[in-house]
Chain A
Amino acid sequence: EPEVTQTPSHQVTQMGQEVILRCVPISNHLYFYWYRQILGQKVEFLVSFYNNEISEKSEIFDDQFSVERPDGSNFTLKIRSTKLEDSAMYFCASSDLGTYYEQYFGPGTRLTVT
Chain B
Amino acid sequence: KNQVEQSPQSLIILEGKNCTLQCNYTVSPFSNLRWYKQDTGRGPVSLTIMTFSENTKSNGRYTATLDADTKQSSLHITASQLSDSASYICVVSPDESGGGNKLTFGTGTQLKVEL
Residues of A near any B CB (own CB < 8 A): 4, 31, 33, 41-45, 48, 55-56, 58, 89, 91, 93, 98-108
Which residues of A sit under 8 angstroms from B34, Cβ to Cβ? 102
Which residues of A sit under 8 angstroms from B27, Cβ to Cβ? none
Q: Which of B10-18, B63-71, B73-81, B105-113 forms contacts with chain A?
A: B105-113
- Give CA–CA (A45, B104) in the complex, Å: 7
Which residues of A sit under 8 angstroms from B31, Cβ to Cβ? 99-100
* Candidates A44, A56, A108; contact of B99 at CB < 8 Å: A56
Which residues of B sit under 8 angstroms from A31, Cβ to Cβ? 101
Please tell me if the beta carbons of A44 and B105 are within 8 angstroms of each other in the complex. Answer: yes
Across the A-B interface, how many residue pairs have beta carbons closer than 8 Å?
Answer: 62
Please tell me if the beta carbons of B102 and A58 are within 8 angstroms of each other in the complex. Answer: yes
Please tell me if the beta carbons of B108 and A45 are within 8 angstroms of each other in the complex. Answer: no
B41 within 8 A of A: yes
Please tell me if the beta carbons of B42 and A100 are within 8 angstroms of each other in the complex. Answer: no
B82 within 8 A of A: no
Which residues of A sit under 8 angstroms from B19, Cβ to Cβ? none
A45-B103, A93-B43 are known; give 20 further A-B pairs, CB within 8 A. A31-B101, A42-B106, A45-B101, A48-B101, A48-B102, A55-B101, A89-B41, A91-B43, A98-B100, A99-B31, A99-B32, A99-B95, A100-B51, A101-B49, A102-B46, A102-B49, A104-B46, A105-B44, A107-B43, A108-B42
- Give CA–CA (A4, B46) in the complex, Å: 14
* Candidates A42, A48, A108; contact of B43 at CB < 8 Å: A108
Q: Could you mark each residue 44-67 of chain B with 1 if its beta carbon is under 8 Å from any beta carbon of chain A, else 0? A: 111001010000000000000000
- Give CA–CA (A45, B108) in the complex, Å: 15
Which residues of B sit under 8 angstroms from A42, Cβ to Cβ? 89, 105-108
